[in-house]
Structure 1
Amino acid sequence: MDKKEKVVLVGVETENNYKYFEESMIELKSLTKTAMGEVVFSLVQKRPQIDRQTVIGKGKIEELQTIVENHEADLVIFNHELTPRQSQIISDALGVAVIDRVQLILDIFAMRARSKEGKLQVELAQLEYLLPRLIGQGKTLSRLGGGIGTRGPGETKLETDRRYIRDKITVIKRELKEVAAHRHRTRQKRQDNQVFQIGLIGYTNAGKSTVLNILTQAQTYEQDQLFATLDPLTKKWRMPEGFEVTITDTVGFIQDLPTQLVNAFHSTLEESREVDLLLHIVDASSPSRQQQEETVLRLIEELDLSKIPILTVYNKSDKIDPSHFVPTLFPSVLVSSKSLSGKEQLIQGIKLNLMEILQPYTLTLTQEKGNLLHRLKKETLMLSSEFNEETQNYLVKGFAQAGSFALRLMESELE
């Protein structure tokens, strides 16, 4: 679709959202841009709480109608989740399509999904969102097949037949179960092989894919836009010492992430549940850094990931004055993932964290067992190996996972 849709944004600042209202409106504008829309006007209003029927009240609806006509807008996007009734009333009054923040995010996810699982999860979230909104949507459904809020695998087959949609939801859930089972087997295999796993999490557009790329040369899609990564990607990374670990990139979090998406992307986020270390990537240059940190920490809590050790990586230091930067989360490291020194600092930060998580070992290996050095290098964080000419032995020091063969060797030495 070459021609960008003209979009009017609408937001209401209330007693509940005033702390982050301004930021969420800026974010809504970015989301619209990511969805290939052109924002022609933003209508904001202050009121104690939103109007139950039209969100903004009768007078403002009339004002909005004039704005839509004057700017020849194609679409109105509300920065609030609309009930089916509100959506219908507002759409009838304005005579143009009306969607909310949730539908906009679902639309972007539909654009970004690449894998079979990603596409299925987006379709499931879209159908579950649309099901209660099908009554009286004739006008809106007639524009399906074009425009923001209508993309994705589910849109072309969408019918007003609710039973069709319910059946489709059942089928998708079944397929997702199979995919999740396959993913679980792969994860189990990684765990059985005693591979140390690192997971990347963070607010959308904080630079997770960039971090993954500089460490593993994974060449994932990295772009300065919201939700550039949707499908989880696991890559092997060999640390400078030789220790082989895996790194998994995940979907970015966002303020008011639709519950449909948290549910739909559970298996994606479950990848993070099995990891040994989380790297929380934060955009150090973002004016709303603290609010973004809080959003991610809240979701970490909700997803039951808070028991996992976390290293906060403050990224994009090239966009700020590092001497004035004060971190809010610890342990942390401040880097620019675009620079060579940033990569070194990041690796050093990860290494120090590993030394706290893993168990130290000291081994004396006879010359005949020298072949084990290669295995130790690959499967543990080996810090030194010295050969003693007098005793003809290797003295090896490092850190290893509980139950690893290095620790078993050490135990057998002590017996």
Structure 2
Amino acid sequence: MKVSDLIAELLNAAEKSAELARAIRREESLFHLLIEEKTGDDKNKRFGFDFKTLADVLVQEMIRFDLNKKFSGIGKRVTGEENNKFTNFAGDKFSLEIKDNKKKTTALLCKILDGNDRAATTLANLVHEDVTVPRPPELEKLESLELDKKEIGIWIDPIDGTAEYISGSRDPEFRPGENISQNGLPNVTVLIGVYERSTGLPIIGVINQPFFKTEDGKIWSGRMVWGACIGDARVTSVPHGRDQPPVGEAEKPAVVTSMSDCKKLGTYLCENFDILTAPGAGYKLLCVIDRLCSAYVLSKDNTYRWDTCAPHAILRSQGGGVVKHQQALTADLSGGGGSGGGACDKALRDLQLTYHKAEPKASGSNAWCNMQGVIAYSDPKVLQRLVASLTKK
């Protein structure tokens, strides 16, 4: 299959997912029907409790269904954060999947929703709606590239930032495109990442931010960014991507992290970096892509492959990357600096997160946890300065 065609379909899927997320959030009566607490191995370690919403599962299975319809067989290459097993309020268990027509999907959703035909019909209409995004002109640079669908895998986080999605709040100080949102709907993202099964390296990433801005606080509009790094080809929709000048040695770059890691990391980084916080792993990675900060640092095992695959591919297309935090602290990153050769460049390649192998001796969602923490960077020089600060005695 052509790379340009795959990216075009991923963009369609991401936008359709964003429209579904916005539609569910708008209908308050429908939204409250859709919350189910995660338990056991599916429970995310980041919170005392975590939620799996029907919105999450619908988005995930809709992306799988739509991609498989375009590229037969690719659906089994799609892995998402969510288990598609769903329990209705009566305790009946169902496997949620998109059927080949709207009537069948409605019938299944009606069972899951305890006979709520109105909600089931509304959701089925959204799931089976055709959404087409205008084909980006940047795809012309990839027209000659082909991929074997058997040689790729796809990671999806259908709605990253579920807690923010459920709360529905908004940071009153947030200015879209200018600063980092501290909480609320702008921190929600849809993440779709493609990786090579042979190397595990991410090669295509699409991020949709469904709730980017609003004029009245009620009607939201979103935006989408994407990037590809396949062989020597690097293409991104972010206008200031790879042409962004390197961070000057005299500057004090901004670094974003989690609230739980802020105090610990600040002890090491505050002298050379400004420390910022924000919720949502996908959103923090998007802030690095957008150059709202120079890096995202997390020392804990609080992110997963579905969080990082899509942003990682985009950062690679810009000349950056995402590496293992603990391993980076012991690596030799001196010299080279991403200049195209040398020991540093090899070390950077070896440190990159990969997405094809589960963590040994781990089960459930923990099998795909980024156990060593992460450092996402826009420029190798930023990574060098971060590691120097974090290892300073």
TM-score, normalising length: structure 2: 0.34
- Higher relative contact order at CA 8 Å, sep ≥6: structure 1 or structure 2? 2
- Between structure 1 and structure 2, the one with the greater Rg is 1
Structure with more helix by fraction: 1
TM-score, normalising length: structure 1: 0.33
